[in-house]
Amino acid sequence: AQSVAQPEDQVNVAEGNPLTVKCTYSVSGNPYLFWYVQYPNRGLQFLLKYITGDNLVKGSYGFEAEFNKSQTSFHLKKPSALVSDSALYFCAVRDDTGGFKTIFGAGTRLFVKA
């Protein structure tokens, strides 16, 4: 069965510092991995994805994520956090075995302090 874990309910970081939001997953086949962001009173927005290819993927707003197959992780990173990055971040996964069910983590709230 597929699963996603976001071990931190909240991440606090000072503006200008690097940030990491953690995600680990479990799938039967090869993973398709995604990060989405939800700003207050706004819908979920796609940030970046890993389907195949380079393990380091770059996405919107300066975010990037590294796919690590041995550790089954897909951590979201940004070199320098902005106050405007404060939001709720969701990791999601589905596998390539034929199903289309996408599993989302419970979310991590990022708080960037000025």
Partner 1 sequence: DTGVSQDPRHKITKRGQNVTFRCDPISEHNRLYWYRQTLGQGPEFLTYFQNEAQLEKSRLLSDRFSAERPKGSFSTLEIQRTEQGDSAMYLCASSLGGSREEQYFGPGTRLTVT
- Which positions lie near partner 1, rule CB under 8 A? 4, 32, 34, 36, 42-46, 49, 51, 90, 92, 94, 99-107
Min CB(49)–partner 1 separation in Å: 5
> 9 vs 114, which CB is nearer to partner 1?
9
> 2 vs 19, which CB is nearer to partner 1?
2
CA–CA gap between residue 76 and residue 73 (Å, rounded): 10
Min CB(16)–partner 1 separation in Å: 29
Which whole-number Å values give the CA distances from 47 to 35, 37, 95, 112, in the listed order?
Answer: 5, 7, 19, 18
Min CB(114)–partner 1 separation in Å: 26
CA angle, residues 16, 50, 41, in degrees to nearest 5: 55
Contact indicator for 81, 17 with CB cutoff of 8 Å: yes
